[in-house]
Each structure stands twice: as C-alpha cells, then as structure tokens.
Amino acid sequence: MTRYLKSKFAILIVISVSLLFSLTVWFNVNAIVDQLISLWALNEYDIAILSMILIFGFVTGGILSALLNLPDVIKTKNYYSLYAGLSALTNFLVIFSPNFLWLLLFRFLTGFFLAGVYPTAMKLMASWFQEHRGLAVGILLGALTAGSGIPYVFNIIGSPEWRLLLSISSLLALAGTILIFLFITEGPYVSQGAKFKLSNLKVIWSKNSVKYANLAYFGHMWELYAFWVWIPVFLKESYNFSYPSGNAILFFSIGAFIVFISGALGNAFGGLLADRIGRTKFNIIMLILSGSSSILIGFFFNNPILALIIAVIWGITVVPDSPQYSVMITELSDQDYIGTSLTVQTSVGFGITLISIRLLPSFVHMVSWSFAFMFLALGPLIGILSLILLRKEPDSSKIGQGKK
C-alpha cells in the first residue's frame, strides 16, 4: 500500500506547509540583520549586498537548471527534495561563517538551491489540480507571502540569537523536505520523462501567448519585491516624520506584518476569484489597483495611519495576480517542459526585482518618499498591455479551461 497522499485537500496542505517551511531560509536574515550589523560592523553597502545576494543565487540556479531542463528531466518530488534539503544545509552553514564574505557565499548557495524549490512546488501543485488550479497555486503562494512577514513578528516580540534562529529555519526547511519526499508524488496532469535538449528553451519561448504571460509577470515582479523590501522603511520614515519621539519600530513592524498577512489572504481568495471570472481579467484588475496604490501612497507620507491603510490595500492587490501568471504558464506551455518554463519565468522575474529594489532608494534621494514609489507603476502598465495582447492570442482559450 502506497504511502503517498491521494486526497487533493491533504496534498494542497502538505505542499503549502512544505513551501512555507522551506522558504523560512529565505526570509530569516530580515529578522537578524541588526545582530549582523553589530557583529561585523556592516555598512549600508553591506546590507544592500546581503539583501540581494540570495536573489543573485536564485537567478543563477534557475538559469542553470533551465538550461539543463533539470526540473523536467529529474522526477519532480526528488528534485524538490534534493534542492530543499541542500538549501537547509547551506542555510545552517551560515552559523559557522568566520566573516561576512563567507556568510555571503552561503547565502548565495541558499538562493541557488531555492531556485529548485519555489517553481518546483508550483509544478507539483499544478500536477494535481486542473480544475481550481488558480485557487490551489494561490494558496501555495499565500504560504510564501505569509512567510515573508514572519521576520516582522520577531521585531515585535524580540528576535532570538541569530545562530539559533538560523538553526530553527534550517530544521523547518528539513521538515518541509521530508514532507514532500515521504508523502507527495506527481499528479496526473503534468507529463513526465522529458529529455535534455538545449533547444527546449527555444521551444518554450516560441509561443506568443507564453511570451505575453511572461512579460506580464515581469511587469508584476518589477513592482512586487521593491514594494515588499521598501514598504517597511517607508512606514518607519513616515512615522518618524510625524512622531519623532514615538516607537517607530513597533509601528512599522506591526504594519509590515499586516501588509504581508493581508497579501497572503488575498492570494487565497484571489485564486478563487480568478478561477471564476478569468485569470487575465482578474490580473488586469489587480494591476490597476496595485499600480494606483504605488502612485497614491506617497501623498500620505505625512499621515502614517492613512499611509498604512494604503499600504495594506497595496499589499492585498500587489500579490494575488502572481500565482495566476504561473498557472497560465502551466496551461499554455508544452506539458513536457512545465518545470523548465516555470523556472525560466521565476528566474528572469527575480532578476528584474534586483533592478527595481536597487533603484528605489535612488528615487527617494531624488524626489523624496512622496513620489519615489511612482516609478513602480511602470511594471503594472507593462503587465496590463501584455495581458491585453495575450487575450487576443488564439491559444489563450486554454487559460482557465476557457475562462481567460
């Protein structure tokens, strides 16, 4: 008798919990950065590199995996388990870092291996859900979004010693690895047994519908992570401006946690709504709302409470479209190469985030917080135009089983 789960509800829960556990190794440094500053006398440049090095690793690992078609050549559950386990190991090795350079190396490697975790989890989920796929992947990415907010809980209640926190996150990632390896296998809706051919990448990008879905995702990513990285700083500066003697750390920590949790809930409910009204329609609505928030929020810099309200609205609308782009890729791509297609999409998307994350503080220096976020609206604009073009493609009828 097989040990693998067959209940779709149980599979949905296990994959989501596994991804949440595994991605704690991504977000844990957010909670310990102050301790690292004290330990190694880090400056602003060091902190910027620390924030970006894991994404560099993720992009590098994703590109290499895509070139070799590894997400589709290797059995999906084994690929996920291997890379999740290695990311847990490299995260644990951080605690033995003799200096900051070694820490950066281990963080790069952690990101490198996470490139085999996040997109592969989406492929696993898609393999079990054809109907309600948008909801399933939305719940999965809701787990990711919730994980993004966990470090701010530690800011509120007090972060444990940094080596202890990294050890806990590695144990959680290992637990997530074991959950997938023991209880999950591939479902019936994704083909298996692809062969390695470098030309597969050309095939993946040859369809206009896939190109437009990817371009829309890239526009979305231009906005998303720059928002996630810098909205806590914006809330902190806004509060300090109005209440210089108040507790800004408590305000922005609670505010950021609310932003992320509301985004996680938005992912789940957004997936349900996208399945009902159509993925491209839903995403266009979300892009309009999130893009508008990026333009408006700066006008409330002098009022931190209203700024937080806009930030929560932005947090709810900036992320629910994210899983729908990935679901579109699973519906539009060659079924033999879904894993590679998702890895290409996420790798390029995260590469784009490095640019917008780095540019935003430059805009703050040039035009102040009142106008700095406005340049992020370029991403939603590109996304909307790309989705309009996607809807005109003949094979867009494959999206949402006809509900595009």
Number of structural domains (the chain) is 1
70: domain CATH number? 1.20.1250.20
> 88 in a domain, yes or no?
yes
> Looking at residue 202, what is its pLDDT?
62
Rounded mean pLDDT, 127-154: 81
Q: pLDDT tens, 324-354? A: 998 888 888 777 777 777 878 888 899 999 9
With beta carbons less than 8 A apart as the criterion, state whether 279 and 396 touch.
Answer: no
| C-alpha dist (Å) from residue 156 to 249, 257, 294, 311, 313 | 8, 10, 26, 19, 22
Distance of alpha carbon 292 from its chain centroid, rounded? 21
Q: Report d(CA 137, CA 221) in Å as an integer.
A: 17
Instruction: Give the ranges where 41-161 is alpha helix by DSSP (H).
Output: 44-67, 70-73, 76-93, 100-114, 118-128, 133-157
Q: pLDDT tens, 9-68? A: 899 999 999 999 998 898 788 778 888 988 999 887 888 888 889 999 998 998 888 777
> Which of 158-172, 190-204, 273-287, 321-335 holds the top average pLDDT?
273-287
> 2 in a domain, yes or no?
no
> Looking at residue 196, what is its pLDDT?
45
> 302 in a domain, yes or no?
yes
Which domain does 391 fall in, by range? 8-186+197-402
> 60 in a domain, yes or no?
yes
Q: Report d(CA 23, CA 62) in Å as an integer.
A: 16
Distance of alpha carbon 106 from its chain centroid, rounded? 20
Q: pLDDT tens, 68-89? A: 777 777 888 899 999 999 999 9
> 1 in a domain, yes or no?
no
> Looking at residue 73, what is its pLDDT?
77
User: What whole-number percentage of the chain has pLDDT above 70?
Assistant: 94
Six-digit token pair at 173? 């990632």
The residue written with tokens 């791509």 in the block is 333
Q: Report d(CA 136, CA 129) in Å as an integer.
A: 7
At 20, the amino acid letter reads L
Residues 6+ apart with CB under 8 A from 98: none
